[in-house]
Structure 1
Amino acid sequence: MTDFARYPSLRGIPVLITGGASGIGAAMVEAFARQGSKVGFVDFDVAAAEALLNRLAPLQADIAFEPCDLRDIDALRTAFARLDAALGAPLVLVNNAARDDRHGWDTVTPEFWDERMATNLRHQFFAIQTVAPGMIAAGRGSIINLGSVSWMMPQGGMPAYTTAKSAVHGLTRGLAQDLGKHRIRVNAILPGWVVTERQRQHWLTPEAEEKHFERQLLPDLIEPEYLANMALFLASDDSAMCTAQSFIVDGGTV
Protein backbone atom coordinates (compact mmCIF):
# COMPACT_ATOMS: atom_id res chain seq x y z
CA MET A 1 0.00 0.00 0.00
CA THR A 2 1.22 3.48 -0.84
CA ASP A 3 2.38 5.53 2.13
CA PHE A 4 0.43 8.76 1.63
CA ALA A 5 1.19 12.17 3.15
CA ARG A 6 0.33 13.26 6.68
CA TYR A 7 -0.76 16.82 7.43
CA PRO A 8 -0.03 18.07 10.96
CA SER A 9 -2.42 21.01 10.44
CA LEU A 10 -5.38 18.60 10.23
CA ARG A 11 -4.81 17.00 13.62
CA GLY A 12 -7.56 17.82 16.07
CA ILE A 13 -9.59 20.12 13.82
CA PRO A 14 -13.34 19.57 13.29
CA VAL A 15 -14.27 18.38 9.80
CA LEU A 16 -17.81 17.94 8.42
CA ILE A 17 -18.50 15.68 5.43
CA THR A 18 -21.84 15.26 3.67
CA GLY A 19 -22.79 11.91 2.17
CA GLY A 20 -20.10 10.26 4.26
CA ALA A 21 -21.54 6.78 4.71
CA SER A 22 -20.34 5.19 1.48
CA GLY A 23 -18.32 5.66 -1.68
CA ILE A 24 -16.13 8.75 -1.94
CA GLY A 25 -17.59 10.16 1.26
CA ALA A 26 -16.65 7.09 3.31
CA ALA A 27 -13.10 7.26 1.94
CA MET A 28 -12.95 10.88 3.08
CA VAL A 29 -14.26 10.08 6.56
CA GLU A 30 -11.57 7.44 6.94
CA ALA A 31 -8.83 9.63 5.50
CA PHE A 32 -9.53 12.54 7.84
CA ALA A 33 -9.89 10.18 10.81
CA ARG A 34 -6.46 8.73 10.05
CA GLN A 35 -5.08 12.29 10.06
CA GLY A 36 -6.37 12.74 13.61
CA SER A 37 -9.17 15.13 12.68
CA LYS A 38 -12.46 15.22 14.55
CA VAL A 39 -14.80 13.97 11.84
CA GLY A 40 -18.54 14.51 11.66
CA PHE A 41 -20.60 13.20 8.77
CA VAL A 42 -24.21 13.10 7.65
CA ASP A 43 -26.03 10.68 5.38
CA PHE A 44 -29.53 9.27 4.94
CA ASP A 45 -28.21 5.69 4.74
CA VAL A 46 -28.09 4.80 8.43
CA ALA A 47 -27.15 1.17 7.86
CA ALA A 48 -24.13 2.12 5.73
CA ALA A 49 -23.10 4.75 8.28
CA GLU A 50 -23.22 2.26 11.16
CA ALA A 51 -21.21 -0.24 9.12
CA LEU A 52 -18.58 2.42 8.46
CA LEU A 53 -18.41 3.39 12.13
CA ASN A 54 -17.92 -0.27 13.07
CA ARG A 55 -15.19 -0.70 10.47
CA LEU A 56 -13.34 2.39 11.67
CA ALA A 57 -13.74 1.62 15.38
CA PRO A 58 -10.20 0.15 15.67
CA LEU A 59 -8.79 3.59 14.76
CA GLN A 60 -10.20 4.94 18.05
CA ALA A 61 -10.80 8.18 16.18
CA ASP A 62 -13.17 10.99 17.13
CA ILE A 63 -16.00 10.36 14.63
CA ALA A 64 -19.66 11.35 14.95
CA PHE A 65 -22.60 10.63 12.66
CA GLU A 66 -26.00 12.26 12.28
CA PRO A 67 -28.70 10.86 9.98
CA CYS A 68 -29.96 13.47 7.57
CA ASP A 69 -31.77 13.81 4.25
CA LEU A 70 -29.98 16.83 2.80
CA ARG A 71 -32.95 17.67 0.62
CA ASP A 72 -34.57 18.89 3.86
CA ILE A 73 -32.68 22.08 4.75
CA ASP A 74 -34.14 22.29 8.26
CA ALA A 75 -32.92 18.74 8.88
CA LEU A 76 -29.50 19.73 7.52
CA ARG A 77 -29.27 22.64 9.95
CA THR A 78 -30.35 20.46 12.88
CA ALA A 79 -27.84 17.71 12.07
CA PHE A 80 -25.03 20.23 11.64
CA ALA A 81 -25.88 21.83 15.00
CA ARG A 82 -25.67 18.46 16.72
CA LEU A 83 -22.28 17.70 15.17
CA ASP A 84 -21.11 21.19 16.10
CA ALA A 85 -22.07 20.50 19.72
CA ALA A 86 -20.30 17.13 19.66
CA LEU A 87 -17.08 18.08 17.87
CA GLY A 88 -16.83 21.85 17.71
CA ALA A 89 -17.56 24.25 14.87
CA PRO A 90 -16.12 22.77 11.67
CA LEU A 91 -13.07 24.39 10.11
CA VAL A 92 -13.40 22.11 7.09
CA LEU A 93 -16.59 21.37 5.14
CA VAL A 94 -16.61 18.77 2.37
CA ASN A 95 -19.78 19.05 0.27
CA ASN A 96 -19.65 15.53 -1.10
CA ALA A 97 -23.23 14.22 -1.22
CA ALA A 98 -24.74 13.59 -4.67
CA ARG A 99 -26.38 10.94 -6.82
CA ASP A 100 -25.56 10.38 -10.49
CA ASP A 101 -28.64 8.41 -11.51
CA ARG A 102 -28.93 8.17 -15.28
CA HIS A 103 -32.00 9.65 -16.95
CA GLY A 104 -33.09 10.64 -20.44
CA TRP A 105 -33.67 14.28 -21.28
CA ASP A 106 -37.10 13.45 -22.70
CA THR A 107 -38.38 11.85 -19.49
CA VAL A 108 -37.54 14.70 -17.10
CA THR A 109 -40.51 16.31 -15.33
CA PRO A 110 -40.42 19.60 -13.40
CA GLU A 111 -40.75 17.59 -10.18
CA PHE A 112 -37.81 15.33 -11.05
CA TRP A 113 -35.71 18.35 -12.05
CA ASP A 114 -36.34 20.11 -8.75
CA GLU A 115 -35.59 16.95 -6.77
CA ARG A 116 -32.28 16.48 -8.62
CA MET A 117 -31.26 20.07 -7.89
CA ALA A 118 -32.09 19.49 -4.22
CA THR A 119 -30.08 16.26 -4.26
CA ASN A 120 -27.01 17.49 -6.13
CA LEU A 121 -26.72 21.25 -5.66
CA ARG A 122 -28.99 23.12 -3.27
CA HIS A 123 -27.68 21.53 -0.07
CA GLN A 124 -24.12 22.58 -0.93
CA PHE A 125 -25.05 26.24 -0.65
CA PHE A 126 -27.04 25.84 2.56
CA ALA A 127 -24.30 23.72 4.12
CA ILE A 128 -21.86 26.56 3.44
CA GLN A 129 -24.32 29.13 4.76
CA THR A 130 -24.68 27.08 7.97
CA VAL A 131 -20.97 26.57 8.74
CA ALA A 132 -19.56 29.88 7.48
CA PRO A 133 -20.35 31.92 10.63
CA GLY A 134 -18.24 29.57 12.74
CA MET A 135 -15.38 29.79 10.27
CA ILE A 136 -15.67 33.57 10.21
CA ALA A 137 -15.46 33.62 14.01
CA ALA A 138 -12.35 31.43 13.83
CA GLY A 139 -10.80 33.58 11.12
CA ARG A 140 -10.14 30.62 8.82
CA GLY A 141 -11.69 27.66 7.07
CA SER A 142 -11.63 25.41 4.02
CA ILE A 143 -14.73 24.52 2.01
CA ILE A 144 -14.46 21.79 -0.60
CA ASN A 145 -17.29 21.26 -3.07
CA LEU A 146 -17.51 18.09 -5.13
CA GLY A 147 -18.21 18.81 -8.78
CA SER A 148 -17.69 16.49 -11.75
CA VAL A 149 -15.92 16.41 -15.09
CA SER A 150 -19.10 15.00 -16.67
CA TRP A 151 -20.32 18.42 -17.81
CA MET A 152 -16.91 19.28 -19.27
CA MET A 153 -16.43 16.16 -21.37
CA PRO A 154 -19.39 16.52 -22.35
CA GLN A 155 -21.38 13.52 -21.11
CA GLY A 156 -25.02 12.87 -21.91
CA GLY A 157 -27.61 10.61 -20.34
CA MET A 158 -28.12 12.60 -17.09
CA PRO A 159 -28.84 16.27 -17.92
CA ALA A 160 -30.12 17.25 -14.46
CA TYR A 161 -26.96 15.85 -12.85
CA THR A 162 -24.55 17.53 -15.26
CA THR A 163 -26.42 20.84 -14.93
CA ALA A 164 -26.19 20.70 -11.14
CA LYS A 165 -22.52 19.77 -11.23
CA SER A 166 -21.67 22.57 -13.65
CA ALA A 167 -23.33 24.99 -11.23
CA VAL A 168 -20.91 23.88 -8.50
CA HIS A 169 -18.23 25.75 -10.47
CA GLY A 170 -20.12 29.04 -10.17
CA LEU A 171 -21.00 28.40 -6.52
CA THR A 172 -17.35 27.79 -5.71
CA ARG A 173 -16.00 30.84 -7.52
CA GLY A 174 -18.64 33.19 -6.21
CA LEU A 175 -18.40 32.18 -2.55
CA ALA A 176 -14.61 32.19 -2.70
CA GLN A 177 -14.98 35.90 -3.47
CA ASP A 178 -17.51 36.49 -0.69
CA LEU A 179 -15.64 34.56 2.02
CA GLY A 180 -12.02 35.20 1.10
CA LYS A 181 -11.71 38.29 3.28
CA HIS A 182 -12.32 36.01 6.28
CA ARG A 183 -9.49 33.68 5.20
CA ILE A 184 -12.03 31.05 4.21
CA ARG A 185 -10.94 29.18 1.11
CA VAL A 186 -13.50 27.65 -1.26
CA ASN A 187 -12.38 25.11 -3.84
CA ALA A 188 -13.90 22.34 -5.90
CA ILE A 189 -12.77 18.81 -6.71
CA LEU A 190 -13.90 17.49 -10.08
CA PRO A 191 -13.72 13.68 -10.16
CA GLY A 192 -13.62 11.55 -13.24
CA TRP A 193 -15.19 8.10 -13.19
CA VAL A 194 -14.52 6.97 -9.64
CA VAL A 195 -15.00 3.25 -9.04
CA THR A 196 -17.23 3.06 -5.97
CA GLU A 197 -19.32 0.01 -5.07
CA ARG A 198 -22.35 1.79 -6.54
CA GLN A 199 -20.56 2.20 -9.88
CA ARG A 200 -19.57 -1.47 -9.85
CA GLN A 201 -23.14 -2.55 -9.20
CA HIS A 202 -24.80 -0.40 -11.84
CA TRP A 203 -22.47 0.73 -14.60
CA LEU A 204 -18.95 -0.74 -14.52
CA THR A 205 -19.17 -3.48 -17.14
CA PRO A 206 -16.15 -4.83 -19.05
CA GLU A 207 -17.46 -3.07 -22.15
CA ALA A 208 -17.91 0.25 -20.34
CA GLU A 209 -14.46 -0.01 -18.80
CA GLU A 210 -12.84 -0.71 -22.16
CA LYS A 211 -14.60 2.27 -23.75
CA HIS A 212 -13.63 4.49 -20.82
CA PHE A 213 -9.94 3.70 -21.14
CA GLU A 214 -10.04 4.88 -24.74
CA ARG A 215 -10.46 8.39 -23.22
CA GLN A 216 -8.51 8.17 -19.94
CA LEU A 217 -4.76 8.65 -20.26
CA LEU A 218 -3.67 6.78 -17.13
CA PRO A 219 -4.37 3.03 -17.38
CA ASP A 220 -5.76 2.59 -13.84
CA LEU A 221 -9.21 2.91 -12.34
CA ILE A 222 -9.76 5.88 -10.05
CA GLU A 223 -10.39 4.67 -6.51
CA PRO A 224 -12.18 6.84 -3.89
CA GLU A 225 -8.97 7.25 -1.87
CA TYR A 226 -7.51 9.48 -4.59
CA LEU A 227 -10.37 11.96 -4.14
CA ALA A 228 -9.89 11.76 -0.37
CA ASN A 229 -6.20 12.56 -0.78
CA MET A 230 -7.01 15.70 -2.76
CA ALA A 231 -9.53 16.73 -0.09
CA LEU A 232 -6.86 16.32 2.60
CA PHE A 233 -4.51 18.62 0.71
CA LEU A 234 -7.19 21.29 0.17
CA ALA A 235 -8.24 21.11 3.82
CA SER A 236 -4.69 21.42 5.13
CA ASP A 237 -2.51 24.48 5.59
CA ASP A 238 -0.32 23.15 2.77
CA SER A 239 -2.89 24.63 0.35
CA ALA A 240 -3.19 27.92 2.25
CA MET A 241 -3.12 30.10 -0.89
CA CYS A 242 -5.42 27.96 -3.02
CA THR A 243 -8.96 29.26 -3.42
CA ALA A 244 -11.61 29.67 -6.16
CA GLN A 245 -10.02 26.76 -8.04
CA SER A 246 -11.25 23.48 -9.48
CA PHE A 247 -8.91 20.52 -9.05
CA ILE A 248 -9.52 17.75 -11.57
CA VAL A 249 -8.87 14.14 -10.51
CA ASP A 250 -9.82 12.14 -13.58
CA GLY A 251 -6.77 10.18 -14.71
CA GLY A 252 -6.40 12.53 -17.68
CA THR A 253 -9.73 12.07 -19.42
CA VAL A 254 -9.77 13.56 -22.92
Structure 2
Amino acid sequence: MAIYPDLKEKTVLITGGASGIGAALVQAFAEQGSKVGFLDRDEAAGVELAEKLSAEGRQVLFVPLDLCDIEDLRSGVEAVRQKLGPITVLVNNAAHDERHATEEVTEDYFDDRIATNFKHQFFASQAVLPDMKAAGGGSIICMSSISWMAGFGGMALYTAAKSAVLGLVRSLARDFGPFEIRVNAISPGWIMTKRQLDLWLTPEADAMRKERQALKRRLLPEDVAKMALFLASDEASAITSQNYIVDGGWV
Protein backbone atom coordinates (compact mmCIF):
# COMPACT_ATOMS: atom_id res chain seq x y z
CA MET A 1 0.00 0.00 0.00
CA ALA A 2 1.00 3.62 -0.52
CA ILE A 3 2.48 5.41 2.50
CA TYR A 4 0.90 8.70 3.58
CA PRO A 5 3.39 10.47 5.86
CA ASP A 6 0.74 12.76 7.34
CA LEU A 7 -1.09 9.74 8.83
CA LYS A 8 1.88 8.89 11.04
CA GLU A 9 1.08 9.47 14.72
CA LYS A 10 -2.50 10.51 13.98
CA THR A 11 -5.11 8.95 16.25
CA VAL A 12 -7.56 6.91 14.21
CA LEU A 13 -10.78 5.38 15.54
CA ILE A 14 -12.35 2.45 13.69
CA THR A 15 -15.67 0.87 14.61
CA GLY A 16 -16.23 -2.82 13.97
CA GLY A 17 -12.49 -3.33 13.67
CA ALA A 18 -12.07 -6.87 14.94
CA SER A 19 -12.69 -8.77 11.71
CA GLY A 20 -13.45 -8.49 8.00
CA ILE A 21 -13.06 -5.08 6.38
CA GLY A 22 -12.62 -3.56 9.83
CA ALA A 23 -9.57 -5.67 10.62
CA ALA A 24 -8.03 -4.73 7.27
CA LEU A 25 -8.61 -1.07 8.14
CA VAL A 26 -6.96 -1.46 11.54
CA GLN A 27 -3.98 -3.22 9.97
CA ALA A 28 -3.63 -0.65 7.18
CA PHE A 29 -3.70 2.40 9.44
CA ALA A 30 -1.37 0.74 11.93
CA GLU A 31 1.12 0.14 9.12
CA GLN A 32 0.99 3.88 8.33
CA GLY A 33 2.28 4.54 11.83
CA SER A 34 -1.08 5.81 13.03
CA LYS A 35 -2.25 5.29 16.60
CA VAL A 36 -5.30 3.08 16.08
CA GLY A 37 -8.17 2.54 18.48
CA PHE A 38 -10.86 0.11 17.44
CA LEU A 39 -14.21 -0.86 18.92
CA ASP A 40 -16.05 -4.15 18.49
CA ARG A 41 -18.26 -6.54 20.42
CA ASP A 42 -16.23 -9.58 19.29
CA GLU A 43 -13.82 -9.56 22.20
CA ALA A 44 -11.85 -12.67 21.24
CA ALA A 45 -11.12 -11.49 17.70
CA GLY A 46 -10.36 -7.96 18.88
CA VAL A 47 -7.88 -9.07 21.50
CA GLU A 48 -6.17 -11.40 19.03
CA LEU A 49 -5.75 -8.62 16.44
CA ALA A 50 -4.52 -6.10 19.02
CA GLU A 51 -1.97 -8.55 20.41
CA LYS A 52 -0.70 -9.39 16.93
CA LEU A 53 -0.22 -5.75 15.95
CA SER A 54 1.26 -4.79 19.31
CA ALA A 55 3.81 -7.57 18.91
CA GLU A 56 4.78 -5.93 15.59
CA GLY A 57 5.41 -2.66 17.41
CA ARG A 58 2.19 -0.96 16.29
CA GLN A 59 0.28 1.48 18.49
CA VAL A 60 -3.17 -0.05 18.88
CA LEU A 61 -5.91 -0.13 21.47
CA PHE A 62 -8.91 -2.47 21.40
CA VAL A 63 -12.01 -1.56 23.39
CA PRO A 64 -14.71 -4.26 23.54
CA LEU A 65 -18.22 -2.82 23.59
CA ASP A 66 -21.66 -2.86 22.00
CA LEU A 67 -21.96 0.03 19.54
CA CYS A 68 -25.73 -0.14 19.80
CA ASP A 69 -25.38 1.13 23.37
CA ILE A 70 -24.65 4.81 22.77
CA GLU A 71 -23.33 5.46 26.28
CA ASP A 72 -21.02 2.49 25.86
CA LEU A 73 -19.90 3.93 22.52
CA ARG A 74 -19.18 7.31 24.09
CA SER A 75 -17.17 5.63 26.84
CA GLY A 76 -15.17 3.75 24.22
CA VAL A 77 -14.39 6.94 22.33
CA GLU A 78 -13.21 8.53 25.56
CA ALA A 79 -11.01 5.52 26.34
CA VAL A 80 -9.30 5.84 22.96
CA ARG A 81 -8.91 9.59 23.43
CA GLN A 82 -7.34 9.18 26.87
CA LYS A 83 -4.93 6.46 25.77
CA LEU A 84 -3.97 7.55 22.25
CA GLY A 85 -4.77 11.26 22.10
CA PRO A 86 -7.33 13.43 20.27
CA ILE A 87 -9.06 11.60 17.44
CA THR A 88 -8.70 13.20 14.00
CA VAL A 89 -9.69 10.27 11.79
CA LEU A 90 -12.89 8.25 12.27
CA VAL A 91 -13.94 5.29 10.15
CA ASN A 92 -17.55 4.29 10.81
CA ASN A 93 -17.21 0.73 9.59
CA ALA A 94 -19.35 -1.48 11.84
CA ALA A 95 -22.34 -3.19 10.24
CA HIS A 96 -24.03 -6.56 9.89
CA ASP A 97 -25.75 -7.66 6.67
CA GLU A 98 -28.09 -10.19 8.26
CA ARG A 99 -30.73 -11.43 5.81
CA HIS A 100 -34.39 -11.09 6.77
CA ALA A 101 -37.82 -11.61 5.26
CA THR A 102 -40.07 -8.56 5.34
CA GLU A 103 -43.00 -10.60 6.63
CA GLU A 104 -41.03 -11.66 9.70
CA VAL A 105 -39.71 -8.23 10.78
CA THR A 106 -40.92 -7.05 14.19
CA GLU A 107 -40.61 -3.53 15.56
CA ASP A 108 -37.81 -4.62 17.90
CA TYR A 109 -35.91 -6.25 15.03
CA PHE A 110 -36.37 -3.11 12.92
CA ASP A 111 -34.89 -0.95 15.68
CA ASP A 112 -32.01 -3.38 16.18
CA ARG A 113 -31.05 -3.38 12.49
CA ILE A 114 -31.07 0.42 12.29
CA ALA A 115 -29.02 0.64 15.49
CA THR A 116 -26.55 -1.95 14.19
CA ASN A 117 -26.10 -0.47 10.73
CA PHE A 118 -26.73 3.26 11.02
CA LYS A 119 -27.40 4.91 14.38
CA HIS A 120 -23.88 4.52 15.79
CA GLN A 121 -22.38 6.29 12.75
CA PHE A 122 -24.09 9.52 13.77
CA PHE A 123 -23.18 9.28 17.44
CA ALA A 124 -19.55 8.29 16.81
CA SER A 125 -19.24 11.32 14.50
CA GLN A 126 -20.79 13.50 17.18
CA ALA A 127 -18.39 12.13 19.82
CA VAL A 128 -15.20 12.92 17.87
CA LEU A 129 -16.33 16.36 16.70
CA PRO A 130 -14.75 18.28 19.63
CA ASP A 131 -11.35 16.70 18.96
CA MET A 132 -11.44 17.54 15.27
CA LYS A 133 -12.62 21.10 15.86
CA ALA A 134 -9.81 21.66 18.35
CA ALA A 135 -7.27 20.18 15.93
CA GLY A 136 -8.42 22.43 13.09
CA GLY A 137 -9.66 19.59 10.93
CA GLY A 138 -10.18 15.88 10.49
CA SER A 139 -11.59 13.14 8.30
CA ILE A 140 -14.73 11.05 8.88
CA ILE A 141 -15.35 8.07 6.62
CA CYS A 142 -18.72 6.29 6.74
CA MET A 143 -19.28 2.87 5.21
CA SER A 144 -22.27 2.54 2.94
CA SER A 145 -22.78 -0.33 0.47
CA ILE A 146 -23.72 -0.93 -3.14
CA SER A 147 -26.55 -3.17 -1.90
CA TRP A 148 -29.14 -0.39 -2.12
CA MET A 149 -27.83 0.90 -5.45
CA ALA A 150 -28.01 -2.55 -7.00
CA GLY A 151 -31.46 -3.19 -5.51
CA PHE A 152 -30.55 -6.31 -3.56
CA GLY A 153 -33.47 -8.08 -1.92
CA GLY A 154 -33.78 -10.11 1.25
CA MET A 155 -32.38 -7.48 3.61
CA ALA A 156 -34.54 -4.38 3.29
CA LEU A 157 -33.49 -2.89 6.63
CA TYR A 158 -29.80 -3.26 5.82
CA THR A 159 -30.16 -1.60 2.43
CA ALA A 160 -32.33 1.15 3.92
CA ALA A 161 -29.72 1.86 6.60
CA LYS A 162 -26.89 1.88 4.08
CA SER A 163 -28.72 4.31 1.81
CA ALA A 164 -29.31 6.56 4.82
CA VAL A 165 -25.55 6.77 5.33
CA LEU A 166 -25.29 8.87 2.17
CA GLY A 167 -27.80 11.39 3.50
CA LEU A 168 -25.88 11.56 6.78
CA VAL A 169 -22.58 12.13 4.97
CA ARG A 170 -23.96 14.95 2.84
CA SER A 171 -25.41 16.79 5.83
CA LEU A 172 -22.45 16.31 8.15
CA ALA A 173 -20.06 17.41 5.42
CA ARG A 174 -21.97 20.67 5.18
CA ASP A 175 -22.17 21.14 8.95
CA PHE A 176 -18.56 20.19 9.66
CA GLY A 177 -16.96 21.86 6.63
CA PRO A 178 -16.38 25.24 8.32
CA PHE A 179 -14.08 23.41 10.77
CA GLU A 180 -12.05 21.78 7.94
CA ILE A 181 -13.58 18.41 8.80
CA ARG A 182 -14.17 16.27 5.74
CA VAL A 183 -16.94 13.66 5.66
CA ASN A 184 -17.07 11.03 2.91
CA ALA A 185 -18.54 7.60 2.27
CA ILE A 186 -17.18 4.38 0.84
CA SER A 187 -19.61 1.94 -0.75
CA PRO A 188 -18.01 -1.50 -1.02
CA GLY A 189 -19.25 -4.14 -3.39
CA TRP A 190 -19.00 -7.84 -2.63
CA ILE A 191 -15.85 -7.99 -0.53
CA MET A 192 -14.55 -11.47 0.22
CA THR A 193 -14.36 -11.43 4.00
CA LYS A 194 -14.33 -14.69 5.90
CA ARG A 195 -18.01 -14.20 6.72
CA GLN A 196 -18.91 -13.84 3.06
CA LEU A 197 -16.81 -16.85 2.10
CA ASP A 198 -18.36 -18.99 4.84
CA LEU A 199 -22.00 -17.97 4.38
CA TRP A 200 -22.71 -16.78 0.87
CA LEU A 201 -20.04 -17.69 -1.70
CA THR A 202 -21.42 -20.66 -3.58
CA PRO A 203 -20.15 -21.56 -7.08
CA GLU A 204 -23.39 -20.14 -8.50
CA ALA A 205 -23.07 -16.88 -6.56
CA ASP A 206 -19.43 -16.52 -7.56
CA ALA A 207 -20.33 -16.96 -11.21
CA MET A 208 -22.98 -14.25 -10.86
CA ARG A 209 -20.43 -11.96 -9.20
CA LYS A 210 -17.98 -12.50 -12.02
CA GLU A 211 -20.64 -11.73 -14.59
CA ARG A 212 -21.78 -8.53 -12.85
CA GLN A 213 -18.35 -7.07 -12.07
CA ALA A 214 -16.38 -5.30 -14.78
CA LEU A 215 -13.21 -6.46 -13.04
CA LYS A 216 -13.33 -10.23 -12.78
CA ARG A 217 -11.15 -10.85 -9.73
CA ARG A 218 -12.55 -11.24 -6.23
CA LEU A 219 -12.36 -8.06 -4.18
CA LEU A 220 -10.58 -8.15 -0.83
CA PRO A 221 -10.87 -6.11 2.39
CA GLU A 222 -7.54 -4.49 1.54
CA ASP A 223 -9.15 -2.92 -1.54
CA VAL A 224 -11.48 -0.96 0.73
CA ALA A 225 -8.69 -0.09 3.16
CA LYS A 226 -6.67 1.52 0.36
CA MET A 227 -9.51 3.93 -0.37
CA ALA A 228 -9.95 4.71 3.33
CA LEU A 229 -6.26 5.57 3.70
CA PHE A 230 -6.46 8.00 0.80
CA LEU A 231 -9.60 9.70 2.10
CA ALA A 232 -8.09 10.03 5.57
CA SER A 233 -4.87 11.55 4.26
CA ASP A 234 -4.00 15.10 3.26
CA GLU A 235 -3.95 13.92 -0.36
CA ALA A 236 -7.76 14.12 -0.16
CA SER A 237 -7.79 17.53 1.51
CA ALA A 238 -10.22 19.02 -1.04
CA ILE A 239 -12.61 16.06 -1.01
CA THR A 240 -15.77 15.99 1.10
CA SER A 241 -19.45 15.05 0.79
CA GLN A 242 -18.61 12.29 -1.71
CA ASN A 243 -19.31 8.59 -2.08
CA TYR A 244 -16.57 6.34 -3.44
CA ILE A 245 -17.70 3.00 -4.86
CA VAL A 246 -15.24 0.13 -4.48
CA ASP A 247 -17.05 -2.69 -6.27
CA GLY A 248 -14.98 -3.68 -9.30
CA GLY A 249 -17.55 -2.06 -11.58
CA TRP A 250 -20.70 -3.81 -10.37
CA VAL A 251 -23.04 -0.79 -10.38
Q: Does TM, scored on the shorter chain, surpass 0.5?
A: yes
State the distance in 2 between where 1:172 and 1:62 align.
29
Q: What SS does the corresponding residue of 1:180 show, helix, strand or coil?
A: helix
1:144 alignment partner AA: I
Task: Give the equivalent residue in structure 2 for 1:38.
Answer: 35
Q: What SS does the corresponding residue of 1:185 show, helix, strand or coil?
A: strand
Instruction: Check the 8 A contact 1:34/1:59 in 2, yes or no.
Output: no
What's the TM-score once normalised by structure 1's chain length?
Answer: 0.97
Aligned pair 1:183/2:210, yes or no?
no
State the distance in 2 between where 1:108 and 1:218 align.
36
Task: Give the equivalent residue in structure 1 for 2:106.
Answer: 109
Instruction: Check the 8 A contact 2:166/2:185 in 1, yes or no.
Output: yes
State the distance in 1 between where 2:202 and 2:6 align.
41
Q: Quick one: which of 174, 179, 193 aligns to 2:171?
A: 174
State the distance in 1 between where 2:93 and 2:243 align.
14
Shift in Å, 1:59: 2.2
User: Which segments of 5 or more consecutive residues in structure 1 lack a partner in the other structure?
Assistant: none
State the distance in 2 between where 1:106 and 1:249 align.
32
Instruction: Check the 8 A contact 1:141/1:185 in 2, yes or no.
Output: yes
Q: What SS does the corresponding residue of 1:214 show, helix, strand or coil?
A: helix
State the distance in 1 between where 2:31 and 2:167 align.
32
Q: Quick one: which of 63, 70, 73 aligns to 1:73?
A: 70
Aligned length: 251
Shift in Å, 1:202: 0.6
State the distance in 2 between where 1:126 and 1:57 align.
28
Q: What SS does the corresponding residue of 1:213 show, helix, strand or coil?
A: helix
Backbone CA RMSD of aligned residues: 0.7
User: Which segments of 5 or more consecutive residues in structure 2 lack a partner in the other structure?
Assistant: none
Instruction: Check the 8 A contact 2:54/2:60 in 1, yes or no.
Output: no
Q: What SS does the corresponding residue of 1:24 show, helix, strand or coil?
A: helix
2:224 alignment partner AA: L
State the distance in 2 between where 1:95 and 1:192 align.
17
Cα deviation code 1:2-33 (max 9, x no counterpart)? xx210001001000000000000000000000
2:90 alignment partner AA: L
Bigger shift: residues 136-145 or 52-61: 52-61
Task: Give the equivalent residue in structure 1 for 2:52.
Answer: 55
